[in-house]
Amino acid sequence: MSEVAYEPVSVKEVLAEMKDTAELLIDLSYSAVLLGSDDIAEEVLELEGRMDILQMKARMSLLMAARSPEDAEALAPVLGVVGAAEKISDAAGDIAKVVMEDIGLPEAMRAALPEAVETLVRARLDESSTLAGQRLGDRSLETTTGVRVIAVRREGGWLVAPGSETRLEAGDVLLLRGPEEAVGEVYTEATAREFVPADAPEPAIDDLERAVDSIVLMKNMSELAVDLAYGAVLFDSTDVAEEVLELEAEVDALQSRFEAWTLQAAARVEDPVSLRGLVHLARATEVISDAALEISEGVLRGLGTHPVVEEAVRASEEVIVRLVVAPGSVLDGATLRDEMVGTETGMRVIAVRRGEEEGATMQGRFGRERGEWVVSPRASTELHDGDTIIAKGTADGAARLSELAGE
């Protein structure tokens, strides 16, 4: 373990890197399980070590900045954000160890995970591909297709945060994530081979199927909670923070049901030990939802958002934006599918708040009443004048989405 000495650092930059690293760790850890890849799992553990150093630097800088009780009160939520990012990192490391230690998962889990991480595929870049030799920024894949290159393996090493200046080379192994149809098109362009989605095997045991479905739902909800938590911090929104609180409670309830179904399934499978991986995944996923609540706790308690946290979220690789649909704009009266928001802009709409004229109670994706909020809206969600959109993606994609919204 390397020593960490105090040195003056920009807390904003450290927090921004922690946010990006935490989100990448979630992506890579589940990708490691999906692909059964020791290489990706090892990268997760390397990033986890990097996160340990970042959180130590952030804590030292914040402690040096607290010179009065007022300073301590203002910085307490910042420490909460630091601690939450570290918990996400630790949970991702635990998920990676499911692969590294060959704990094992039932086939039903591997079949279900592609849905949990949208569609994720590994593609080796063919020398004949039009992508070979191009920079990601030149092609704007995420903006034009909705597909994101979340990592690149090259000559035995991984580029875990490829940016707009990253130039793709023939032989690179790309991890592509996005809507299935769009991923299939990019996969074919990259590899010069047809994309064939894997058929999901049918679980033989109902209780096991329910347990697997619970983890998939927990994973989706936990990731959504993290996104909304950073949105709550960025916009100092108690309403959004309360959505995080509800999601965390729902994940806890799912965890309880998962445990019951897993115990029932254990009595009916040939090798109950093979379910250990499910237990590890569920526990780590629940920790991620708890961490999301910690990120938004300062907003929930009325302490507001410290400027350094707000600036860090704005400075991160993926931006979070809040836009209002203007009357007569392209999005007014359209569904997310109609305007292909994800494909055309690369932005993921994570929540919609209905305008005052749309006062009817809405229902969220997970089946509970949400008042004015539609959380994790579907492609069929219709937008109207006055609706507020919270979305996540690239700066270029945010600009395009702003045009569609008429801002």
Residue at 164 is within a domain: yes
Torsional sign, CA 80, 89, 22, 103: negative
Domain enclosing residue 276, as ranges: 11-106+203-312
Instruction: Give pLDDT tens digits for 298-317.
Output: 888 877 777 777 777 776 76
CATH number at residue 298: 1.20.58.220
Do residues 213 and 99 both lie within one domain?
A: yes
pTM: 0.71
Alpha-carbon distance 132 to 137, whole Å? 13
Q: How many CA atoms lie within 13 A of 94 on its CB side?
A: 19
Same domain, 155 and 138: yes
The percent of residues in the chain predicted with pLDDT above 90, rounded, is: 10
**How many domains is the chain built from?**
3
Q: How much is the pLDDT for 352?
A: 85
- Within a domain: residue 197? no
The more confident residue out of 376 and 124 is 124
Tens digits of per-residue pLDDT, 186-207? 999 999 998 876 555 454 556 6
CATH number, domain at 152?
3.30.70.1450
Q: CA 219 to CA 216: how far, in whole Å?
A: 5
Q: Are residues 225 and 91 in the same domain?
A: yes
What's the average model confidence in pLDDT over 346-365? Answer: 61
Q: If residue 150 lies in a helix (H) or strand (E), which one and from where to where?
A: strand 148-154
Q: Which of 145, 161, 191 is at the close of a domain?
A: 191
Q: In the listed set 164, 191, 218, which residue is the last one of a domain according to the structure?
A: 191
Q: Which residues contact 165 (CB under 8 A, 6 or more apart)?
A: 135, 136, 137
Residues 167 and 293 in one domain: no
- The answer to whether residue 60 sits within a structural domain is yes
> Do the domain assignments include residue 154?
yes
177 and 240, same structural domain?
no
Report pLDDT digits (tens) over 38-77: 877 888 888 888 888 888 888 888 877 767 777 777 777 8
Question: Does residue 382 have a pLDDT over 80?
Answer: yes
Residue for token pair 């949208």 = 118
CB atoms < 10 A from the CB of 196, how many? 8
